[in-house]
Amino acid sequence: LAKTTQPISMDSYEGQEVNITCSHNNIATNDYITWYQQFPSQGPRFIIQGYKTKVTNEVASLFIPADRKSSTLSLPRVSLSDTAVYYCLVGENSGNTPLVFGKGTRLSVIA
């Protein structure tokens, strides 16, 4: 299971773009990169998943360089409601191991 490293915390002002980087140096060929968001006292919410290059949805973009040893979650124009913990997970999308959530990145958005 690929180990991930992400910053413990980040601060941002409202309206700014926020980029959270996750390092996963030993990512395997079949591994996908998945990001979850968790608000206090709520369950994690699936945000986005990708394998390579760039993936975009209505919530975020995920940038994955060619070597796939890192990835960046990009949140455009954050608001106070984006204050949450963001988790980066790396693993096979249909493998035989359960999800492993690390400590995540605590994003605080300031007015």
Partner 1 sequence: DVKVTQSSRYLVKRTGEKVFLECVQDMDHENMFWYRQDPGLGLRLIYFSYDVKMKEKGDIPEGYSVSREKKERFSLILESASTNQTSMYLCASSFVLWTYEQYFGPGTRLTVT
Would you tell me which residues interact with partner 1 (CB under 8 A)?
A: 32, 34, 41-46, 49, 89, 91-103
State in angstroms the smallest separation of the CB of 14 from partner 1: 26
Amino acid identity for residue 87 in this structure: Y
Measured at the alpha carbon of residue 96, what is the angle toward residues 90 and 102, in degrees to the nearest 5? 35
The gap from C-alpha 105 to its chain's centroid, in whole angstroms, comes to 8
d(CA 27, CA 49) in angstroms, rounded, equals 15
State in angstroms the smallest separation of the CB of 49 from partner 1: 6
CB atoms within 10 A of CB 57: 10
Tokens of 10: 């980040």
The residue among 12 and 35 lying less far from partner 1, judged by its C-beta, is: 35
State in angstroms the smallest separation of the CB of 13 from partner 1: 27
d(CA 67, CA 81) in angstroms, rounded, equals 33
The residue among 67 and 98 lying less far from partner 1, judged by its C-beta, is: 98
The residue among 93 and 108 lying less far from partner 1, judged by its C-beta, is: 93
The residue among 10 and 85 lying less far from partner 1, judged by its C-beta, is: 85
State in angstroms the smallest separation of the CB of 7 from partner 1: 16
